[in-house]
Structure 1
Amino acid sequence: MRGLKEMVLESDELEALKLYEVDGLDQIRSAKKMKISQPTFARILGSAHKKVANAMINGMAIRIVKEVAKK
């Protein structure tokens, strides 16, 4: 993927996409699984959709940032 610009997708954005688009859960159930409010889930999902669409349309690589464990 050398030479491609990157779009960074955070781990919570990836999880939101998985729950909603792949697992087929609605926003309320998805939010409960992530232990966040539905409005927060909607914001994260919207951000993920925008980033993925931008990367696809503009030929960018998508880099997924894994959450770093807190000590």
Structure 2
Amino acid sequence: MNGQPFGHGFRRGRGRCRVERFCEPGFRYRCFAPVCRNGGPPAGMVSLRPDEVEVLRLVDLQGLTQEEAALALGVSRKTVWRDLHEARRKVADALVHGRIIEIAGCEDIMRDTCGIPATELDEDE
């Protein structure tokens, strides 16, 4: 990721800069971990960007079409499709393989109040 934050005009790698999304205000970032671990640590971590969570919320929870979600976020329908596809892939990977789901920019991790021990968070990095 080149050590640069995503969104807000920063590049996340090759290609164009990400367009800033208009996400729902008051979204509380969280981490989710499997409760049943079969005696072992989690199998790694999957990181979702806040805009991926927002597109999941709009399309899968609120039932908006991709076109309606694109209007709400201020991006193209193709961008919504790409973010939705990537977010669903990451969630499926976490569910099938027992990985922790971390929302990028999680306030609890930054304040060290996350319920997931720091040793588990550092394993994947």
Q: Same fold (TM over 0.5)?
A: yes
Q: Which has the higher strand share?
A: 1
CA deviation after TM superposition for structure 1 residue 32, in Å: 0.6
Please, which runs of 5 or more residues in structure 1 have no aligned partner? Answer: none
- In our comparison, the structure showing a higher alpha carbon Rg is 2
- Alignment identity in percent? 33
Unaligned runs of 5+ in 2: 1-32, 34-40, 107-125
Q: 1:7-61: per-residue Cα shift (whole Å, max 9, x none)?
A: 0000010000000000110000001101000001100000000000000000001
* Structure with greater helix share of residues: 1
CA distance in 1, matches of 2:104, 2:57: 15
Which letter maps to 1:45? L
* TM-score, with structure 1 as normaliser: 0.87
Higher relative contact order (CA 8 A, sep 6+): 1
Question: Is it true that 1:26 corresponds to 2:80 in the alignment?
Answer: no
Aligned residue pairs total 66
- TM-score normalized by the length of structure 2: 0.50
1:65 is the counterpart of 2:104:
yes
Q: How does 1:41-52 map to 2 (within 5 A)?
A: 41-52=80-91
